[in-house]
Amino acid sequence: MANAQMIHDAQEYLARENVPGWLIYDYLGCNPVLAQVAPASGHVTRPVFLYVPASGSPTLLTHHVDAGKFADTGVDSVVYSSRVTLESALRDTLAGAASVAMEYSPRNGLPRVSRVDAGTVELVRSMGPDVVSSAYLMQYATQRWSPEQLAGHQRAADKLGRIVNEAFARIGQRLADGVTEFEIAEFIRRRFGEEGLTTADGPIVSTNAHCSDPHYEPAAEGSSVIVPGDWVLIDLWAREDTPGSVYADITWTAYVGDNPPERNRKIFDIVLGARDAALNFLKDAHAAGDPIQGWQADDVARRYITDRGYGEYFTHRLGHSIYHTVHGEGVNLDNFETHDTRRIIPGVGFSIEPGIYLPEFGVRSEIDAYMSEDGPYASSPVQRDIVLITVA
């Protein structure tokens, strides 16, 4: 069935913002939004358009060979077979609409939003409507968590917090046996299964210079043996293995021994300071009644790190949206890779994960946060101190 709540929320937004409709286009999975709003029952091989007007019933344009895959959506379908009948049906569907929102971002400013190819945008505009970005609409209609999803996220996050500390303890237990990064990654994956969690990939288990590669993943061959004096970073993400669940995603760091080097402590403290400064900014802005855009939080953390002399080593955005995929389609905390002007609205979840990546080691501290009606708060365990791994 089509997601009635998402369609209702989309029409609420369209009416409020005076946009005539939302045209969701997908071809061979290029736009994951369609699968959220009106999922097909199997593989779809031809272009599909779903038109959600500001009022009235949605219309689905689908090729004859794929029509059966949408029979259970409950959406009224118009079936085409040729290019001529597709264009005729699309023109009829859009008749009278001065503009439509699509997954389009001017100059590809927000790649996560910009799913529709230029040719399709040209086609729609040739039929009369202007094409505007669905960036804000799509977030409002599809990326806000339900209370059940929030509860599941928090359960998953709590399990991740336990598992990451179990992994650090496992390193200590296995030091004498030459434990590797890959072995600890395998341990984490096994614990996910035991705890009813699932993930598409990961985790990251890295030591020393490997920690300076933000998305390093150890392989069975060639991963480092962990020894006393090593710096260890673990980034793990998973969700409950149930339909509709959303991810949790955290990163913690540790030292094998009881006395981390002073430079590691210094970088660790700066990274945590930037993380906390960003979350406190979000809390203060909400309390003041100020609307908050994703880029503003990035600026706060980046300025904190830059003012302490390490800005060039913070090489990625501050945080990402979280939903059914670990990197969701909503607002990112980003004024570095993009300039994300989407508002952080109630109901969305996201990560806050500043990092400093020096040639010899890297530090990242990642928490999840949720924007409630009463303001933002950390929705995952929060690391406060370097974990010390006991050397047996």
Q: What is the pLDDT of residue 391?
A: 79
Q: Are residues 58 and 2 in contact, defined by beta-carbon separation less than 8 angstroms?
A: yes
pLDDT of 2 higher than 90: no
pTM reported for the whole predicted model: 0.96
Domains of the chain: 4-143 (3.40.350.10), 147-389 (3.90.230.10)
Q: What pLDDT, in 10s, does the model give residues 150-164?
A: 999 999 999 999 999
Residue 255: pLDDT band by 50, 70, 90 thresholds? very high
Report, as an integer, the average pLDDT of 335-357.
98
pLDDT of 76 higher than 90: yes
CA angle 37, 43, 49 (to 5 degrees): 45
- Reading phi first (left if > 0) and then psi (alpha if -120 to 50, else beta), residue 142 is in alpha
- What beta strand segments (E) does 128-214 contain? 130-133, 197-198, 204-207
pLDDT > 70 in the chain, percent: 99
Report, as an integer, the average pLDDT of 200-213.
97
Average model confidence (pLDDT) across the chain: 97
CA torsion sign, 223 to 227 to 231 to 237?
positive
pLDDT, greater one: 222 or 297: 297
